[in-house]
Amino acid sequence: MVGWLKQPEVLLERIKFMLDWKLPQLKALYPSFEFSQTAEEMTEWLLEVSAPWQDAICNVTEPLKALQAQDKGLLFEAQLGAGRDLVFGEYPWTTSSNVTAAYAGIGSGLPALRPERVIAVAKSFSSSVGTGTLITAMAEQDNFREAANEYGAVTGRPRDMGYFDAVATRNGVELQAATEVALTKIDCLSGMTDLKICVAYDGEHCENPIWPQTAALAPIYEQLEAWDEDITGCRTFESLPLAAQKYVLRIEELMGVPVKMVSVGPERDQMINR
């Protein structure tokens, strides 16, 4: 609990409890395991590193309710996509919490929250790090991974690379009740000779995919025209190569909601608004 940082005595007691509970287990599993820090030292360290933002620790629901009363806009951001959601994701490769848009209100203490606008952020291709199924995995991934700089943000592990999966992405769009899509990294597709989108699955349960069993499914692809131009300097949708425009419009058609933003690079001014 972050709130314990405001109560050093309680924090110390919780750390003592955790050490008494966990250290014997760790030593039983790993006989050579050594841990020299005391509960007091850990408490002191936590208080030191948290000092710059101590004033921000609060019951966040109260200031949010005050902003609502003033008709102020609230912006919530989810870290992961629906495929990692504890309930709707591909178990057991999920995260430990619910990450869909509906939980923004629950997690912030505003259970009656009804977002007016939900932006589903999706890459223009598929990528995944760690375990799990990537149905649209490319046969040759190394060059594309390097060009797209697709490595784990924390671990630096290389991500598995795949073609855009419209089935999984639409599932996420619907679970999020998304009102629009922001399509990112389309510039990374420039120069790709084999450009295609997975529009359906083949195999058992293909009409109603059971997400934990997707490893048995095969992708059904739709081939699209590729483009060679460097599009990182484009600032309007109309300035994109016609093939790139068609790629975005086909994804829009498959998602059932408008693609209102298209990024052609990592900078803020490289986001095209439609």
pLDDT at 128: 87
Question: Are residues 67 and 15 part of one domain?
Answer: no
Domain final position from 79, 94, 115: 115
Indicate if the alpha-carbon torsion angle 132, 138, 139, 141 is positive or negative.
negative
- Is the same domain home to 10 and 127? no
Same domain, yes or no: 159 and 37: no
pLDDT tens-digit profile, the chain (274 residues): 788 999 999 999 999 999 999 999 998 999 888 888 899 999 999 999 999 999 899 899 999 999 999 999 999 998 888 888 888 888 788 888 899 999 999 989 998 888 999 999 999 999 988 777 788 999 889 999 999 999 887 788 899 999 999 999 999 999 999 999 999 999 999 999 999 999 999 886 666 665 555 667 899 999 999 999 999 999 999 999 999 999 999 999 999 999 999 999 999 999 999 9
Is 186 marked as binding a ligand? yes
Domain match, 252 and 169 both: yes
Closest CA to 247 of 199, 200, 212: 199
Q: Are residues 177 and 78 in the same domain?
A: no
Number of structural domains in the chain: 3
265 is in an annotated binding site: yes
State the residue range of the domain holding 101: 62-115
Task: Report pLDDT for 215.
Answer: 66
Residue 158 annotated as binding?
yes
Does 156 belong to an annotated binding site?
yes
Q: What is the H or E stretch that residue 143 is in?
A: helix 142-148
Q: Single out the residue in 115, 133, 155 at which a domain terminates.
A: 115
Taking a C-beta distance cutoff of 8 angstroms, is the pair 182, 263 a contact? yes
| pLDDT value, residue 112 | 84
Distance CA 111, CA 122 (A): 26
Q: Please tell me whether 16 is known to bind a ligand.
A: no
Residue 36 known to bind ligand? no
